[in-house]
């Protein structure tokens, strides 16, 4: 599996340090409240598990499954909610946890969708930000790392449901995904 990686972009140690920092920052911002962390499946699950363990707040969590990619490498532009929330978010501080902010299409849709449920606030936390690919006017409130316009996998990020279990973020060799590009 690691033979498919062209280069390691962010090491396991760098991720661990930054996730701890993000946990402290969120703990400070939401001190005295009980926010709801919403993980966007499947990519965010590893990041969210590590993040929430570094937050010193009473909090709860839920998950949504939202897609716009399928097995390709670029967004289709059509956002589909495959799993909705189990929790009521009205009047709650909501923290959306995402693996990567890429085109912004999915997260723009998701933020609007959740805003209609009248939360107290919505905060967007993303492990990775890839601004070169942005198609929608959205910015994360908290970013782990900014990454270049390369196809990245690992630490929850996948290609065709593979590579999520890598402990680092790496750039996938183009020959691995070249048949799937649109």
Q: Report, as residue numbers or ranges, the catalytic residues.
A: 102
- State how far the Cα of 63 lies from the Cα of 37, in Å rounded to an integer: 8
Please, which residues have CB within 8 angstroms of residue 165's CB and are 6 or more apart in sequence? Answer: none
Classify 43 as helix, strand or coil.
Answer: coil
DSSP 49: H
Handedness of CA 20, 14, 167, 132 (dihedral sign): positive
């Amino acid at each position: 599996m690691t033979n498919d990686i062209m280069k390691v972009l962010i090491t396991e140690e760098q991720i661990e340090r930054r996730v701890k920092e993000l946990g402290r920052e969120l703990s400070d911002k939401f001190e005295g409240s009980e926010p709801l962390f919403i993980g966007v499946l499947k990519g965010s699950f590893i990041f969210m598990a590590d993040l929430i363990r570094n937050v010193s707040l009473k909090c709860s969590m839920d998950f949504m499954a939202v897609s716009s990619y399928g097995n390709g490498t670029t967004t289709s532009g059509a956002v589909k909610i495959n799993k909705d929330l189990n929790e009521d978010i009205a009047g709650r501080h909501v923290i959306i946890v995402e693996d990567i902010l890429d085109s912004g299409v999915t997260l723009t849709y998701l933020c609007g969708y959740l805003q209609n449920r009248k939360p107290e606030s919505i905060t967007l936390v993303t492990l990775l930000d890839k601004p070169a690919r942005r198609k929608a006017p959205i910015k994360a409130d908290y970013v782990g790392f900014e990454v270049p316009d390369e196809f990245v996998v690992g630490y929850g990020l996948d290609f065709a449901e593979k590579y999520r279990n890598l402990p680092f973020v790496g750039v996938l060799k183009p020959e691995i995904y070249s048949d799937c590009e649109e």
